[in-house]
Amino acid sequence: MSFSALKKNSNSSFEKLTRELEKISSTESSGADDRFWKPELDKSGNGYAVIRFLPAPEGEDIPWVKVFSHAFQGPGGWYIENSLTTLGKSDPVGDLNRELWNSGRDSDKEVARKQKRKLSYYSNIYVVKDPVNPQNEGKVFLFKFGKKIFDKIMGAMQPEFEDETPINPFDLWQGADFKLKIMKVAGYWNYDKSEFASPSTLGNLDDDGLESIYKKEHSLSAFTDPSNFKTYEELEKRMNLVLKGRPQKKVDMETEEDEDFEVETLRANTSPARVESSVRPSVSSDDEDDTMSFFAKLAEFDND
C-alpha cells in the first residue's frame, strides 16, 4: 500500500480493526466464533477438504499472522494465554522456561517442554469443498493452522527443486487450491499428504465474483493488536496461581488432535480462575523445532 493510500484509508482501517476486536471480545465470552472454519474427520477417521488461501485483506499487507501462546496445566488449573513474544516482548512463561532450560537438569527441561510456546497461524480462506459440512462451501472463513501447513505454503512459494515453479498460494488468479488431507498418526492429526493443486483462477470466477469474495475477508491484524494481550504483570500473576495453586485431580486422556487443540473451548466453558482437568491439550511435534530453536536462542542469550 502506498503512503497516500495509507493516509487516505487511515480512518476506515481503524474502524475495521475496532470492529474485529469487538468480535474477538464477544466470541471469547460466548465461546462461539462462526468466522472460523475447521476441518472434521469423516466416519473412516480421515479428513478431506479443499480450500483456497486468500490475499491480505484490504488495508493489510500480509495474508497471514502468527501468534504464540501457552496452554498447560498446573496444580492451580490451566494456563491458557497469548504469549507476549508474539509482539517481540518478554513473557513470564518464556522467562521461566529459560531458567528451567538452563538449569542443567533434565527434569527442569521436561517441565519447560510441557510449558512450551505453541505457534499458530491465521489466514482468510475460501472453502471450495467440505464433504462433512457442505454448507460451508462457497464461503469465506478464518482458518487457524500450525507449522506443518505453513511449511506446505512456504514449499509452494519457495520450491526445493529447479523443475518446480514457485506459486503464490494467496493469489486469486494465479494461486492454487489446497487439498487438505488429514490422517491420524499415533493419535495426532497428520497433514503430510496435503498438497496444492495446479494454479488456476479461484472458482474460474470473473473479477466481479473475486472482488465479492475479497470484500468478505476478515481483519488479521486484530490478532496481533497489543490490546488483545495481557500485561506481563497480569500473565505472571496468572502463571503463579496455576503453578502454585491448590492441587486438583489429574485425569490423563488420549489426545485426539495436534496443534489444533481447542483453547477457545476451554476458555468458553470454564472460569478464568479454574479449568477442570477433564481434558489435556495435546503436544504436537509440529512446532517442536520452533520450541527447541527458541530455547537454544535463549541459552545463547544467557551466555553472551
- Answer with the residue of higher pLDDT: 174 or 267: 174
pLDDT of residue 33: 87
Q: Which residue has the higher pLDDT, 226 or 32?
A: 226
Question: Residue 115 — φ and ψ, nearest 5°?
Answer: -105, 15
Q: Is the pTM of this model over 0.75?
A: no
Confidence of residue 280 (pLDDT cuts 50, 70, 90): very low
The better pLDDT of the pair 218, 283 is held by: 218
Q: Write down the pLDDT at residue 22.
A: 57
Task: Please check the confidence at residue 253 and state whether its pLDDT lies above 80.
Answer: no
Pairing of strands 188-190, 140-145: unpaired
Surface-to-core class of residue 224, CB atoms within 10 Å of its CB (0-12 exposed, 13-18 middle, 19+ buried): middle
Q: Per residue in 115-148, pLDDT tens? A: 999 999 999 999 999 999 999 999 999 999 999 9
pLDDT at 48 over 60: yes
The residue type found at 200 is: S
Rounded CA-CA distance 272/64 in Å is: 29
Which of these, 292, 295, 266, lies nearest to 279 by C-alpha position?
266
Q: What was the pLDDT predicted at 77?
A: 94
Per-residue pLDDT, 20: 57
Residue 257: predicted pLDDT: 41
Report percent pLDDT > 90 for the chain: 66
Residues 176, 156: contact at Cβ < 8 Å?
Answer: yes
| The three cell numbers locating residue 229 | 494481550
Q: Which domains does the chain have, with CATH numbers?
A: 1-304 (3.90.198.10)
pLDDT tens per residue across span 161-178: 998 999 999 999 999 999
Helix (H) or strand (E) holding 27: helix 10-30
Higher pLDDT: 142 or 25? It is 142
Residue 200 pLDDT: 97
| Residue 262: pLDDT over 80 | no
What's the confidence (pLDDT) of residue 23? 52
Q: Is the pLDDT of residue 259 over 90?
A: no
236 vs 277, higher pLDDT: 236
